Every structure is written in structure tokens, then in C-alpha cells.
A and B are shown apart, each in its own frame.
Chain A
Amino acid sequence: MKSRLASLVLLIAAIVVLALLPALVNNYWLRIATGALMWAGLACSWNMLGGYAGYINFGQSAFFGLGAYTSALLMGDPLGLPFFATIPAGIVVTAIFAIIIGAPTLRLRGAYFAIATWAFAEVLTQFVNVVGFTGGIGGLNLPPFLDERFFYFTMFAAAVLTYLVTWALFERSRFGLKVKALRDHEPAAEAMGINTALVKLQTFVLSAVTASVFGSIFAYWVTFINPKSVFGGDITDQMVVMVLLGGLGSLWGPAIGGVGLFVINRLLWMNWGDTAFYIAILGAAIVLVVLFLPNGIAGLFAKRPAESATVLDKAVDKLVGNGEGGHS
């Protein structure tokens, strides 16, 4: 009870500091904070399916890109829609694609889903590269709006909403019980009357549309997007490493990993003007986490015996079709 009160106080303090941040730091650091909030939100979106349901998605950047491109296209000529009207449009477009990709593949074992999401992201990137209305490799410009505070607060609101929804749905509701049950033992979850195919699809759609919302905000913020900047595979890679480092299947793990790695990325850039070394850090982080820290940084604060099963075990089982993970 005491620790619960302590974490509540900590949470409120963090929100107050974040809300006051624009008054405390200059625009340079505010931009970094905006980016950190975005990555915390994106990592959380990947964790919804990867951590809570155990299904590894290697194409999450596709949904980030769909949100970004939907906003860019709708805000540009000839429609010129207001920014906030384009977010729901991005959500709808993304949800449709997520259902098309997820409905057939989430019934199979995790490897098929992982390959399908990766292939989808690749196909979409090439599609956007070659067709005319997306601007091809040249990308798209959005109407510039140069108010750092606006983007900070918009990203802040999106991140808070993302974590609030994740907490309410996955940590505090029976929907979360169903998702975690199918992650840990799919046939047993079915035997409890849980429609695992449907619950997985719902989780996937929620995960995808969350990434799409951040894509919309990102596009407006940076005012220029191209296929590489919003569909790039490295965007997915970063989300995966952030979640693994922070703690797969935990509420705060993605926030820790997302903020931590993004800030490291920016510090490297500030000091060397180059982030090539960042890729090496990502690789090392994956190896170290898999070997020594399967529950991530968040797992350090939870008491559990060393031999306990981990969420990572379950996700790997689903990927390779081991044990009870998949069923025909």
C-alpha cells in the first residue's frame, strides 16, 4: 500500500514536471523532450501486442507512416483539412490495413505474423516510393507551423493518453486478462471461452492506430516527410529495442526504454554530430537484455525467482512455434 502511494506521488510529480517543462527549458531541449515523449508512446504501442499478447510485429513503422502520410495528404492541396481532423482519418486508414494484415496471419504462429508485418511495411514503403500522389522518394511538405510548445503539448497529451489507455485496458480490465492469458497459453485461453483470434486482432488494431496517431503528430511537427523518414525499418527496430530494454509486457518499461535510448541518441548526436554509434548501442542492448535481463529494466524492480518464466520466453515460443504457443 505504501509503495502504491509512493508510485502515485512519483507519477503526479512526473506529470507536473512534464507540464511545466516548456517554462523551464529552451526550445532545443523542448524538441528533445517532444521526441522522447513520441518514442515513449511508440514503444508503448509496440508493447501492446508484443509484450501483452506475445506477438512480435516487425512492421510497426508502416502504421506510423500511414498516420504521417494520411495527415500530410489531407492537410495539403487540394483538401487542406485542419490538423486535428486528419488524426481520426489516419486512425481509420490504419485500422483498415491492420485488419487486412492481422485477420489472416494472427491465427497462425507468431513467425508468420512477424514475416507478414515486415513484408507489409516493405511493400508499403516501395509503393509510396513509386506512386505519384505521395510525392515518391521526394516526399511531402506539410503546412509549416512553428510552435514548439504546441507540438510538445500535443505529443505530451498523446503519450499520456496512450499510457492511460494501456493501463486501463491491459492492467486493470478483463480485456487485459484475456490478452495476457492467450500470450501465456493460447489453447488454455480458448478453453476458457476466450476468442483468441478476435482478442489478438483487437490488440493489434489498437497498437497500430496508436502508432498512427504519433505518425500524424510527427509529420506536422517536422513539416516534411519522405518514405525513409516515416516508414524506415529502423523506426520499428528502435521500438523493439526500447521495449526489450525497458521491459517487455510491463506498463512503464517502454517509457523507460523509449526516453532512455532517445536521449542517448541525441546526446551522441550533440557530441559527435553522428549517430552511427547509436546502432551499435542498440545491438549491444539487445544482446545484453536477452542474456542477462529478460524482464528489462522494469523487471529489476519486480521480485521473482531467477527460474521464472518470462514474457520474452512466451514471445519467442510463439515466434518459433514451440510448446503450447500456437494451435491448429
Chain B
Amino acid sequence: MSQTVQAVANDGMRPSGGSILVVRDLYRYFGGIKAANGVNLDVGRREIAGLIGPNGSGKSTLFSLVAGTVKPDRGQIRFDGHEIAGMSAHRIARLGLARTFQIPAMFDNMTVTENLLAGAAQGHWQGAHERAAETLGLLKLVHVADNRASDLSGGQQKLLEFGRVIMRQASLILLDEVTAGVHPNIRKIILEAIARLRERGISFLIIEHDMEMVRNVCDRIIVMDSGRVVTSGSFNDIVRNSEVMQTYLGRPQ
């Protein structure tokens, strides 16, 4: 029975028993723009799934729908066994979902350390100061610990936002172009941290335009276009699929 279900399932899906995130028939229109037009996808436990697609294909909207900042018109989102479609962002976060924003979302007037502590202020306060010190070390931000977040460089802000996500002790982390436009050194720090977190059992859904990064860190690639998941598979599967490459690379970025 479940075999049949799998066989007819949309390409973005995996067997849902082992999935931390299950999205089914998700719709969200903004006026005439079909930002989510029947999205189906799964993210497995401990999986690092890469989300690719042309600009305007609905990747960031999907993040906002899953994280609760945008409410779906209809459809289901199941996260770690909870139905979360339409739930407020802070309640979804408390269930163990963490995210970064496309433009780094700094707490500008707070110090780097305070930014990290703020990530743990709701529900993960035990040992927060120790973990903040650890995270500063992990992300090589110790020397700017007492600087204000708004005074950091763009790359450091990306690191800090990533660090705040680590402080959340989430089970699923959504990263929106977390390495875009950052120095290779900083990118390396982030990639190492992702690998370390996965070892702890954390799953990732990553929006990424850099195919090198996608190849290096993602277990599976999910391709979106026009508000839908077009296909998914390993990096090699996707690259071999010329139609997908046309979709993804055939348009100006």
C-alpha cells in the first residue's frame, strides 16, 4: 500500500515515516502571482536538502509559509508530527524550527553576544551563556563579541545569524542563501558548522544558488519552478536531467 503511495507521489516527496517536514498541496497566491502553487516536498530526519530554482520560483515564499510568517491559502505542513499550517511563527519556532533570513536579520543595537543570547531567550536558557561562548568560538567571532551587530561586516552578520540559529537548538534549520556573497573563509566556517550540526541529528533545508555549495553539502536536491516542486534527486541525477538544468540555469539569475 505504502509502495503504491510512494510510486504516485510527487517528486519532492520521500517516505513520510522518516520525514521531519512534510508539505502537501500547499497554495499561496499574492494577487495574480502563484508563489506556492501546489507544493509537495519532504525533508528527512538528518537530511540536508537543497532547494534550488530560478528567482521567483517560490523558494523564499515556501520558507515563509513553513516558518509561519506567511499564512497558506490551503494545504498541509507537518513538522515533527505537528500540523503547523497557519500557526503563528513563534509557536512553530518553539516546536523546533529555526531559520535565517535572505537579508541578515540582525538585532542591530545589541552586541554580538546579546544577539546569540536572544536566540536562546525563549525556551533554551539553561546554559545559554556557555553555549554563546562556544558558538562565538565555533564561528570565530570572539574578537567582535562586544561589538554591536550593526557594526559587523556583511559576512560576519551572516555568521552571527547562523550562530543565533545554532543557539536555538532546533531540529530543522532553514537556511536562506546563508553563504551568498561571503568570503570563502567564512563560507568554510559555515559549512563545517552545518556538518557538525547534522552529526547531532539536525535536518536542514537550504536555499542556495551556488551549485558548488549544493554539490558539497546537500544529500538531495529539490528543484522548484513557478511555485511547484519540479523534481528532486541526487546532485548527479539533477545535473544529468537536461530539462531541469534548462529550468534552473537557462534563465538569467
Contact = CB atoms under 8 A, between A and B. Distances in A.
B60 to A, nearest CB: 13
Nearest to A311: B109
A192 B69 contact: no
A195 B88 CA distance: 9
Contacts of A314: 108-109
Main secondary structure of the interface of A (DSSP, over half): helix
A180 B125 contact: no
Contacts of A304: 148, 151
Nearest to A198: B90
Interface string A167-180: 00000001001101
Contacts of A174: 117, 120-121, 125, 128
Interface string B148-159: 111100000000
Given A178-B122, A181-B121, A327-B69, A309 B109 contact: yes
Interface in B50-101: 67-69, 88-90, 93-94, 98-99, 101
A183 interface: yes
A193 B90 contact: yes
A184 B90 contact: no
Interface string A228-267: 0000000000000000000001000000000000000000
Nearest to A194: B122
Contacts of B94: 193
A202 interface: no
A127 B120 CA distance: 45
A313 B122 CA distance: 25
B109 A177 contact: no
A195 B90 contact: yes
Among A187, A191, A310, the most chain B Cβ lie within 10 Å of the Cβ of: A191
A192 B121 contact: yes
Contacts of B98: 191-192
B8 to A, nearest CB: 35
A196 interface: yes
Contact-residue size bin, chain A (C-beta under 8 Å from the other chain): 20 to 34
B150 A308 contact: yes
A311 B148 CA distance: 12
A31 interface: no
Contacts of A309: 108-109, 148, 150
A218 to B, nearest CB: 32
Interface residues of B, number: 33
A193 B123 contact: yes
A187 B122 contact: no
A194 B121 contact: yes
Contact of A185 (B88, B107, B122, B148): B107
A184 B108 CA distance: 6
Nearest to B95: A193
B12 interface: no
A314 B105 CA distance: 13
B28 interface: no
A189 interface: yes
A188 interface: yes
B209 interface: no
A187 B89 contact: yes
B81 to A, nearest CB: 18
B114 interface: yes
Given A192-B164, A193-B93, A195-B90, A324 B121 contact: no
A163 to B, nearest CB: 20
B166 to A, nearest CB: 12
Contact of B69 (A184, A187, A313): A187
A314 B128 CA distance: 26
Given A180-B109, A181-B118, A308-B150, A188 B90 contact: no
B144 to A, nearest CB: 13
B151 A188 contact: no
Contacts of B121: 174, 177-178, 181, 192, 194
A305 interface: yes
B168 interface: yes
B106 interface: yes
Contacts of A311: 109
A190 interface: yes
A223 B54 CA distance: 71
18 contacts: A181-B107, A181-B110, A185-B106, A187-B101, A190-B69, A191-B67, A191-B89, A191-B99, A192-B90, A192-B98, A192-B118, A192-B119, A192-B122, A192-B168, A193-B94, A194-B90, A195-B90, A327-B69
Interface of B: 67-69, 88-90, 93-94, 98-99, 101, 105-110, 114, 117-123, 125, 128, 148-151, 164, 168
Pairs A-B, 8 closest by C-beta atoms: A188-B105, A309-B108, A193-B93, A193-B122, A309-B150, A184-B107, A190-B89, A174-B121
Given A184-B110, A195-B90, 11 more contacts: A174-B125, A177-B117, A177-B121, A183-B109, A184-B149, A190-B90, A192-B119, A194-B121, A194-B122, A308-B150, A314-B109
